[in-house]
Amino acid sequence: QQQVKQSPQSLIVQKGGISIINCAYENTAFDYFPWYQQFPGKGPALLIAIRPDVSEKKEGRFTISFNKSAKQFSLHIMDSQPGDSATYFCAASNTNAGKSTFGDGTTLTVKP
């Protein structure tokens, strides 16, 4: 049973556009939702994260929207740049149990 479902699998956006990646989860015990950015040949790097007590968190051009009742969260990249081209993973953690689950990833390509 896949606990975190991520979509789309791949995304192509024009420079300056908005990139939106969605994730849905099943386990209501999850209490921490990070997004990771991974460039080819590199390890994932924490991009932004949210806890379920807030509905939105913004850091620069990156925003997480969180809908607790729908058990969904999404990453929005405003003014997308070619340098944002990477694979993005959402994750969900049950920090009490020490368990984390990754989504399958979204490959983002931002065209100049």
Partner 1 sequence: DAMVIQNPRYQVTQFGKPVTLSCSQTLNHNVMYWYQQKSSQAPKLLFHYYDKDFNNEADTPDNFQSRRPNTSFCFLDIRSPGLGDAAMYLCATSRFPGLDTEAFFGQGTRLTVV
The pairing of beta strand 72-77 with beta strand 62-67: antiparallel
Site for partner 1 in 46-75 (CB under 8 A): 46, 49
Decide: is 26 part of the binding site for partner 1 (CB under 8 A). no
d(CA 102, CA 104): 6
Decide: is 1 part of the binding site for partner 1 (CB under 8 A). no
CB of 105 to partner 1, least distance (A): 5
Comparison of 17 and 100: residue with beta carbon closer to partner 1: 100
Which of these segments, 15-23, 58-66, 70-78, 102-110, binds partner 1 (CB under 8 A)? 102-110
Which of these segments, 35-43, 53-61, 65-73, 76-84, binds partner 1 (CB under 8 A)? 35-43
CA angle 22, 47, 59 (to 5 degrees): 90
Written in H, E and C, the secondary structure of 20-75 is EEEEEECCCCCCEEEEEEECCCCCCEEEEEECCCCCEEEECCEEEEEECCCCEEEE
Residues in contact with partner 1 by the rule CB under 8 A: 32, 34, 36, 41-46, 49, 89, 91, 93-100, 102-105, 107
